[in-house]
Amino acid sequence: MRYTFAPMEGVTTHIYRRLHRRFFPGIDRYYTPFLSPTQHHKFGKRDRDEVLPAHNEGVPLVPQLMTKSAPDFNWAVAELAGMGYGEVNLNLGCPSGTVVPKGKGCGALADLEKLERFLDEIFALPAAKLSIKTRLGLTNPEEFIPILEIYNRYPIAELTIHPRLQTDYYKLPVHPDWFAYGITHSKNPVCYNGDLRTAADCAAMTAAHPSLTALMLGRGLLANPALVTTIKGGPSADVPTLRRFHDALFEDYRSLFGHDSSVIHRMKEYWFHLLPLFAADEKLAKQLRKTRGRAEYFAAAEAIFRSGLQAEDG
């Protein structure tokens, strides 16, 4: 079984990926937060920084693209191939209210004729392998039946199914029966994504669907960076390693941003996911959220580290 790290905007940056790979080995594939190629056929600085080979040395990386323009997509694939990337992922799953009305991400699933024309164009060119991440549809899981029929017409390297609707966002439960439909009827290799938070979750999914090629984890890995390391027989998370990872992340972000305020803001997003791993009470969490300066921030972080880890629950 392959284990992949889902892209999360503003969190799983090239800095985070590189350090995660160093401290918590075992991930078979990382995905970039989506890149947005435009008609100007030029990556912005942020997007280019994410895919520069020098920023991802030793990291098995797949760039993810989100666009509704086939020419823009094909330009980006060629550009990325020139950087050495042999696979590119198409985002058809983002449920954001700022993305969907533009016909991007999950919004592309609203017009299947247009989706099919788009896929015709991007699969017509000999290029890197193309994989797709998708949701079931927008408002009704039965939308997935014709969507999957369309996917089956193309040689998709891997179809990652997040079994939620656009209107479910990330809060409503996944639809396991519809994932079962997808893996049963897909003619392409299938990866599962959605609410995998523990080793037990991963084992149960693998046992339920033996033909799975991969599991994609996102929030589960942010909450426990060593999750896949442990699944693969390595050590579980411990406070000294988590502290070293945290300190390296802070310093690398400081090198990028040049001042502490932006770094602290970024680190608070990291802690939002990680805090439940610790035995820290709400008082310590609140102190961390209120910090502004470097000394104040590190004092709050140290108090959380001293609180120790929660007992493992599998």
Q: Looking at domain 2-231, does it have CATH number 3.20.20.70?
A: yes
CB 154 within 8 A of CB 119: yes
User: Counting Cβ atoms within 10 Å, is residue 190 exposed (0-12), middle (13-18) or buried (19+)?
Assistant: buried
Q: Is the pLDDT of residue 61 over 70?
A: yes
- Residue 286 amino acid letter: K
Determine the average pLDDT of the residues in 127-147: 95
Please report, for the chain, the start and end positions of each structural domain, with discontinuous segments joined by +: 2-231, 239-307
User: Counting Cβ atoms within 10 Å, is residue 301 exposed (0-12), middle (13-18) or buried (19+)?
Assistant: buried
Determine the average pLDDT of the residues in 39-55: 93
Q: How confident is the model at residue 312 (pLDDT cuts 50, 70, 90)?
A: low
| The pair of three-digit structure tokens given for residue 152, joined into one six-digit string | 């089956």
pLDDT in tens, 171-221: 899 999 999 999 999 999 999 999 999 999 999 999 999 999 999 999 999
B/e letters for 278-290, b = 16+ CB within 10 Å, e = fewer, are: bebeeebbebbee
pLDDT computed for residue 314 by the predictor: 40
Q: How confident is the model at residue 56 (pLDDT cuts 50, 70, 90)?
A: very high
pLDDT in tens, 260-301: 999 999 999 999 999 999 999 999 999 999 999 999 999 999
Least Cα distance to 269 among 294, 248, 252, 246 occurs for 246
Q: How confident is the model at residue 40 (pLDDT cuts 50, 70, 90)?
A: confident
Distances (CA, A) of 271 to 48, 141, 230, 284: 26, 34, 21, 12
Predicted TM-score of the model (pTM): 0.95
